[in-house]
Structure 1
């Protein structure tokens, strides 16, 4: 271990520990040889002491099934009869700690040490016993005693159980976790393949470092050995929680089926309810835990969070004090409080909690890592990145710290754009191409939304746009993943995927940016004190108001979900975002939330919505705020259910949406016969039209398509007749009809690049240059990183006299490796001269001459610009933007 390790920092006064700390690598490997950690030792025994196996097995079964008090009694009786086995004493100690009987545990420990003088497992558990007696200094002495014993009598500790404890000891004092895993735990697994403990401990190490895949692998190996162990099943639930919620829930349920009193599993279930804002269910689970252990620290930490969310500072203080009642400087308590507050977007309060945790233990890496994330989300980037580096330097197995350190190196190459209180960081080339449009849209959103919601923004709002999805995920979540997210807002910090990160089918980045900035406004107004459904609902609602094509709309799928059992009551809407049954259910949660907002505004007015947000900012709960300014939540639930069902029934009101009797793999003739009996079946009409189109019967296809459009005239989603009508119009060379249909599609679709391209092509052929400018801007809102829309903008802008559009198109093209860069720069220079932007024009003409030194017209333009007075007033000034490399 390095001299700067936590071991040395904590225990420099202990001579034996100082000796052990002299060299992390050499000392660790020398001890591994002393212990014979290759396990090539004759007569290796997997039981510490001989004992009455049947009786011990029965006691362990009591422990496994959560009958801890009975386990204490059984172990106590056996100890009273004079057993020398440490297994009984360990079982009694573990049960007493789970039950919160800390004074009893001290007595059990002291008696056990007299009998099992050299038990390193007893020494290890003594750490927790001392801590929960408020004896943190004594707990540190125990570590020193373990170190001395390890140095003095290494040959005594050769059982797999002892070796796992020694590995945990080295982790505690700052040894390299990867070394411990590979040099110790892995070898125990190989040499003692039927000992589950080595797999469990290795898995829990991986879990602590956010290495979920590796943790799951080790837990699954342990499960093969010990299939009914709640600790393993709980570990699997945590391992799969970020990636497979159904599997995680399955393992959690299995753990609680075996042991209904398994405290970690009950607390994990409580966490899930907490995240879903099901606070009553959270409290019920906490009550179960506190019946088992009335002073369980994590349960009281969660209660402190619940009190904070209810703005009950007195109860919060009492709950935190209860959590710290026995282990008074336990850094885990404030770490957990901060972690759960951060999940509720209370980043300032979360950061304060992590700082408090670090006053108890300045080297407590979980708190440092969480504080790093909190500061990054608060926009305090310098301090946040520095902390991430510190964690990575201390623990290079910490996956989040490693990811953030790597990302920081990538982001050092980004360009920073600063304007009107916005700080935008993005890839340098992307900043050149569409950075100005990002700032323009942000300025518009700020003016519209801040005025509407009566909000004054913080001094700086940061927006980070990532060309790689993995970088976005790491910056946002700390880990790769999150493929379904396009953007996330933390309050005054927005992270987004750029079109480059989304492959061949990017989403409308302008809609995403507007959506996320709306979060900035509402989170600022409420001081981050709002339920997720309301925050998302307002953002989706405002998208639709800004641009009809951006928001969501009713569809056959949503209609079915609304009229079935998939409609979530308003009071439970935040839970719909946590573990949706499918991607469609998640999207429906956004749509339903937006309709709740629309319902409140329609029924009670925008002033009511603003007042609800104001009250949330003052600390009122959402139910109380809605009741004060709209109606009690049960009335809102009932009124909204009627409202949304009326909306669903109004969608294609004359259509038949039954799907039970639909023919399979039918041709056009079969569909025609079937539709004779089901003339308005929505799916049937669509399939009949598709069958006719496949058979190139364009004229006949018009009849079912027209009926589809009569039923749902303003619907452009799956099953719409509009794309089908556009296709047959093109096939029948009816250009005017095709344009009309495509225009309707474009107004209803936020990211249909194929539609925008076809419209641009048709408008260009008709020399409708104003329309081409509109089409080009639609494409740019989805993917500004391809040359085509910039070429269209440059051409159409020049032809219709839209000089600003033409300049934007030419300048973007010049940065995209054009075929004739000299001509692009020259055209831009000429337009800039006409706009009176002479300095920019000079730069462009010089770039043209750099590409083609003999370009005669460029020389002439440069001469003209040189002769023109620099004081000529600009007629088309560019937006003021400060750029920082």
Structure 2
């Protein structure tokens, strides 16, 4: 039910830094005095003392005692500090001395890109290939096998074969050797298989945790599904090495996601202190400049990013990815296309571009790119998943009307596609008028009956637990009730929410903070139908009055790394309260003006004071008062003690407990529940009325309304039962048991309008079960709503086989009344096929035959059409 940020790794996971780190570790284990010196120097590098490490390496080289690992450490230290020319000179010297070194060769490609004066890549490649082919025994050691695996991956070998032939055997043979685990995790990350990367690192030896690279790789692996864990393990990496550039850049990436732009700028400054030429840091600066509408600053930062290597595709890929994650899909696609133009073989750019294009609705180009990626790399998880999804989407039914393209599973489209389309059209019309914007044309809405299909379409990967819908601008994806288990959410409220995103994102050109986007959509849900709004709960109330309330000026941070699912819910709830507060304080025109300002590229912190006539400090203070006031009025008389009684305590024990806590919400809830269970109906009714009065808005588990209804049902007081269930229905948009019982009560009372109303409430939550269609069909017949009855009976014919003869007969009768005799005849024949002796169907068939017999004769024949038939 929300727009979501898509994260990928912030750097190439097979960077040469990992290659050299592997080499350094195994040389350091050789046991000589020189190796001990190397181990000390390596630890200096690992902890961020790069200049000291380079100094030790230079001294070893100077005294003529250097092994290839000393050269590797020297080159790596120079590259990390941005001393690209020095690194190039070191590489030239090292490769002349150790021409067969795979470690130096693997370093060489990156160094040569940043140091054009170094010797050519082609010559180095030809030499090392001849050595590998003619003398493979050189690489028979554990370290040599690891280097061979990396080498063959560089040459485009099958990743699975490299894993099976090199990495897996090393991990099994030497479980205390950490580098194969790192290499395998990097390979999994490269293929976007984050779960496999996390599992591989879990099996790494304990001492791997002493290396910041271990924690950095784990942070990347967790970043997709567990942001809190990713943040925690990233902090571990920076604890070991506060100057670890890759980790600093991932931290800045997180801060940009949280809209903590000033903090991100400071983190980038730390990275640039280590390497003033670091291309990725300058690329992030370009992103920050873009987000503050600083075109000149963006151009300067991108130029600085490309200065060391003008053909570096990673720069524009990073810019394009972050802009896309900020919902600037058009700008993101433009940057990604620049990356592809610089290097058409650079797959990370193509993977990100394909997803961005699909989110823009540019499907032809997006799917074409997916095909190219799979052809080049069959192990890319995202591309493979998307290819499978494309085949599935080809089976969907497409319904197009009034600028809306709706795609659904064929069976679901048959059942309720028209209902969905009607809702989307109404939402588009009403919300576009309210916010003064012409919606995009077309709006594409795809509804998936399988959660994994929704996740792949939305994120490229399985998962997405807890999400019901996502809007990218003019493309909306959503889960149908079929994917939500036994207790689905109200699908119509979800679609209204997402169409509101379409409107506000269009108005702002996707330039709005997440809290404002989500807050408006949740706010509009509640305005459309109070039952759709976010209901106050005891937990939300305690978070509002406690210390978990996020200031309005920093609300987007609440979505970044929520501690629990409850904190996610709280972020939505608080954002909607913030929008309600802004509308009350400044009015809807001010909110619309705020969206216009954002669309013009202005900063929210600058325009909020202008539109509300309040400083940010005043807004934070008054919003906190507003939110806590809402909490206080929700249950002003209640107290919130925990119940220190056994779970099986009887009502007498609870009554005794309440004597000293007469306003306890949980106490009265427990007492009412026990009295109902004990079937003490009069006492239960009195307790429930007290419980309801304490917190009238509570509609969660064991709420007063559903238990009072049970008490009234037992007392055969249908009117009272109906009244209390109607209160619940008006407060809870997912209350299927209430809708079900209300239909029964209304039908028994002959209130067919009530039956229809509650059948439609039920269908808004779950349109895939027969009961609401059956009752809606009967109600529509009594109310003389023939078209509605026909639609309901058609759905019933698809879903219910308990009495198909009756269903087809009633449908045939309605179609005959509507003058659709051919369709009526087909339905009555289906009825007789099910029940050949069904007398009423025989009579209707005869009536249809007689009607055909008295049809007027056809007019004069038309001349043949000279056009060829299609």
Matched, 1:71 2:53: yes
Matched, 1:117 2:99: yes
Distance 2:856 2:659 in 1: 77
Indicate the RMSD between aligned Cα atoms, in angstroms: 2.3
TM-fit CA distance, 1:822: 4.3
* CA pair 422-113 structure 1, distance change in 2 beyond 3 A: same
C-alpha contact (below 8 Å) 1:415/1:431 kept by paired residues:
yes
Distance 1:163 1:171 in 2: 12
Matched, 1:807 2:793: no
* Among candidates 592, 601, 607, match of residue 625 of structure 1: 607
C-alpha contact (below 8 Å) 2:454/2:477 kept by paired residues:
yes
Distance 1:150 1:319 in 2: 41
Matched, 1:860 2:846: yes
Give the equivalent residue in structure 1 for 2:221.
239
Trace 1:864-879 onto structure 2 (pairs within 5 A).
866=852
Question: What's the TM-score, normalizing by structure 1?
Answer: 0.90
Give the equivalent residue in structure 2 for 1:366.
348
C-alpha contact (below 8 Å) 1:464/1:496 kept by paired residues:
yes
C-alpha contact (below 8 Å) 2:222/2:229 kept by paired residues:
yes
For structure 1, which runs of at least 5 residues remain unmatched after alignment? 1-43, 872-885
Distance 2:342 2:820 in 1: 60
Give the equivalent residue in structure 1 for 2:635.
652
Distance 1:705 1:823 in 2: 43
**C-alpha distance after superposition, 1:634-674 (max 9, x if no partner):** 22111111111111111121222233877875321222122
Give the equivalent residue in structure 2 for 1:764.
747
C-alpha contact (below 8 Å) 1:93/1:108 kept by paired residues:
yes
What is the number of equivalent residue pairs in this alignment?
828
Distance 1:246 1:235 in 2: 15
For structure 2, which runs of at least 5 residues remain unmatched after alignment? 1-25, 858-870
| More off after superposition, 709-718 vs 398-407 | 709-718
Distance 1:869 1:490 in 2: 54
Trace 1:600-679 onto structure 2 (pairs within 5 A).
600-630=582-612, 631-659=614-642, 666-679=649-662
TM-fit CA distance, 1:681: 1.6
Helix, strand or coil at the partner of 1:423: strand
Give the equivalent residue in structure 1 for 2:6.
none
| More off after superposition, 574-583 vs 819-828 | 819-828
Matched, 1:413 2:399: no
* CA pair 785-870 structure 1, distance change in 2 beyond 3 A: farther
C-alpha contact (below 8 Å) 1:99/1:293 kept by paired residues:
yes
Give the equivalent residue in structure 2 for 1:596.
578
TM-fit CA distance, 1:780: 0.6
Helix, strand or coil at the partner of 1:372: helix
**C-alpha distance after superposition, 1:586-618 (max 9, x if no partner):** 111111111111111111111011111111111
Helix, strand or coil at the partner of 1:784: coil
* CA pair 664-844 structure 1, distance change in 2 beyond 3 A: closer
Distance 1:565 1:140 in 2: 61
Give the equivalent residue in structure 1 for 2:815.
832
C-alpha contact (below 8 Å) 1:570/1:596 kept by paired residues:
yes
Distance 2:689 2:62 in 1: 89
TM-fit CA distance, 1:255: 1.2
Matched, 1:267 2:267: no
Distance 2:468 2:455 in 1: 10
Distance 2:411 2:117 in 1: 58
Distance 2:632 2:389 in 1: 49
Distance 1:865 1:231 in 2: 83
TM-fit CA distance, 1:478: 0.7
Give the equivalent residue in structure 2 for 1:151.
133
C-alpha contact (below 8 Å) 2:92/2:119 kept by paired residues:
no
Distance 2:65 2:240 in 1: 29
Give the equivalent residue in structure 2 for 1:345.
327
* CA pair 430-366 structure 1, distance change in 2 beyond 3 A: same
* Among candidates 675, 678, 683, match of residue 666 of structure 2: 683
Distance 1:727 1:576 in 2: 39
Helix, strand or coil at the partner of 2:663: coil
Helix, strand or coil at the partner of 1:488: strand
Matched, 1:456 2:442: no
Give the equivalent residue in structure 2 for 1:506.
488
C-alpha contact (below 8 Å) 1:838/1:870 kept by paired residues:
no
TM-fit CA distance, 1:242: 2.2
C-alpha contact (below 8 Å) 2:175/2:204 kept by paired residues:
no
Give the equivalent residue in structure 1 for 2:780.
797
* Among candidates 804, 819, 836, match of residue 821 of structure 1: 804
**C-alpha distance after superposition, 1:826-884 (max 9, x if no partner):** 3223223434556654664565567678852342343366468799xxxxxxxxxxxxx
Helix, strand or coil at the partner of 1:345: coil
| More off after superposition, 109-118 vs 614-623 | 109-118
* Among candidates 733, 736, 756, match of residue 773 of structure 1: 756
Give the equivalent residue in structure 2 for 1:22.
none
| More off after superposition, 96-105 vs 645-654 | 645-654
* CA pair 161-591 structure 1, distance change in 2 beyond 3 A: same
Distance 2:541 2:519 in 1: 18
Helix, strand or coil at the partner of 1:465: strand
| More off after superposition, 728-737 vs 464-473 | 728-737
Distance 2:847 2:581 in 1: 60
* Among candidates 676, 682, 706, match of residue 723 of structure 1: 706
